[in-house]
């Protein structure tokens, strides 16, 4: 069975020089699960015609 935390270790290896503790990996895994849920929620939105937010639009409104 593959290690569910291996993806996290692999990704971190390229980002931080020191090994990350197993406790931190477990914490990160829980956080990433929540983060993935949020991303998935937004992926399901019908945003096909919607461009990213542009603060210039605030200028037009009053």
DSSP string, 4-61: TTHHHHHHHHTT-SSPPPHHHHHHHHHHHHHHHHHHHHHHTS--TTPPPP-THHHHH-
Q: Looking only at residues 38 through 57 of this chain, which bind other proteins when binding is defined by CB under 8 A?
A: 38-39, 41-43, 45, 47, 50-55, 57
Does the protein bind other proteins through residue 33 (CB under 8 A)? no
Binding site for other proteins (CB under 8 A): 8, 11-12, 15-18, 20, 24, 27-28, 31-32, 35, 38-39, 41-43, 45, 47, 50-55, 57-59, 61-62
């Amino acid at each position: 069975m593959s290690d569910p935390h291996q993806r996290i270790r692999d990704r971190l290896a390229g980002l931080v020089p020191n090994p990350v503790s197993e406790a931190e990996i477990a914490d990160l895994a829980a956080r990433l699960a929540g983060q993935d849920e949020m991303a998935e929620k937004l992926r399901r939105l019908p945003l096909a015609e919607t461009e990213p937010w542009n603060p210039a639009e605030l200028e037009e409104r009053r």
